[in-house]
Amino acid sequence: QLSDRQKMSESPLGRFRGVGLPPALHPFNKTLVKGGRWEDVDRAQEKRRSFLRDFCEKYNGRKKLQTHLVHLVSRIYVEDRHRVLYCEVPKAGCSNWKRVLMVLNGLAASAHNISHDDVHYGKHLRKLDSYDLKGIYTRLNTYTKTIFVRDPMERLVSAFRDKFEHPNSYYHPVFGKAIIKKYRHNANEEALKTGSGVKFKEFIQYLLDSHRPVGMDIHWEQVSKLCYPCLINYDFIGKFETLEEDANYFLQLVGAPAELKFPKFKDRHSSDERTNAEVVRQYLKELSKEERQLTYDFYYLDYLMFNYTSP
């Protein structure tokens, strides 16, 4: 057992060789894949992994992320039966991914009858940071690691719409009240009391403020800080833009039951239009040119790592 002082002072890259670059990726057993329709998806995977690896080699040459191992893996969910590690990126299909993990783990018969609250508050799934160091290290080196990402601006706008444009008993009183108090001049008593009605421009002011009145939140935290893609070598990089196809291919690769398919339904606010490029454009119109640039800069690494085009 290392003392707390040792743990804090030593770099995870030095102590845990194999967590950072360049360990070999986990080889997939492609004999499990049925049918020839997956060739394009497989090629896209090769490109994404190669692109990320090249980026990380250049980036890591200049800057080493100094973060303790337990923090590195704090967003990673474990599915022991099929030996899967899934790093949660909110607003990129994570609710349905957790449903799938519950089915894979034998905790539910179908992904379609698991409620939102059961997914997020049921504590049915274990995270990697709940294991001891040996358990973490072993799983990182032997399990199939996947991450699903989304265009950063789409993810940001989707998070804002979900948390601030609908009634919410946590985000309005905790984030909404603080945001309105700091960034809205002449705010009325009702807004200050409830925290409801935060405008997108006010939300961006909070996001870009180095002295935020409340901390960051996983729904708009950068993927580079949620999943550390340059320190953990993900075997499979899925994208929200090709979610179903990527997810169903991944399920075949890990030997999931043939009848298990990635759910198509929208988890909440199903009557709302999905956040897409056009919806994002409307929200960005509320910002000044400088604010738009600074927001892009905030997610700059996510754009680069996953080869997204700047808006």
Enter the pTM of the model: 0.87
**Digitized pLDDT (tens) for each residue of the chain, 311 residues in all:** 344 444 443 333 333 333 443 344 555 666 666 667 788 899 999 999 999 999 998 887 545 555 688 889 999 999 999 999 999 999 999 999 999 999 999 888 788 888 777 777 667 899 999 999 999 999 999 999 999 999 999 999 999 999 999 999 999 999 999 999 999 999 999 999 999 999 999 999 999 999 999 999 999 999 999 999 999 999 999 999 999 999 999 999 999 998 999 988 766 666 688 899 999 999 999 999 999 999 999 999 999 999 999 88
Q: What is the pLDDT of residue 248?
A: 94
The sign of the dihedral angle between the CA atoms of 273, 248, 95, 146 is negative
Q: What is the pLDDT of residue 48?
A: 96
Q: 239 to each of 66, 95, 274, 306, how far by Cα in Å?
A: 27, 15, 16, 9
Distance CA 215, CA 229 (A): 23
Q: 96 to each of 92, 210, 294, how far by Cα in Å?
A: 9, 33, 31
The kind and range of the H/E element at 136 are helix 133-142
- Helix then strand then coil, in percent of the chain rounded to 5, is 50, 5, 45
Distance CA 134, CA 139 (A): 9
DSSP helix/strand/coil, 14: helix
Distance CA 60, CA 300 (A): 15
How far is CA 206 from its chain centroid?
Answer: 20
DSSP helix/strand/coil, 194: helix
**Structural domain boundaries of the chain?**
38-153+218-275+301-306
Distance CA 306, CA 47 (A): 10
Tokens of 239: 């994208």
Tokens of 44: 């896209």
DSSP helix/strand/coil, 204: helix
**E strand map for 168-224:** none
Paired with 144 in beta bridges are 84
Question: Which residues are within 8 A (CB) of 178 and not within 5 positions of it... i.e. 6 or more apart?
Answer: 195, 206, 213, 214
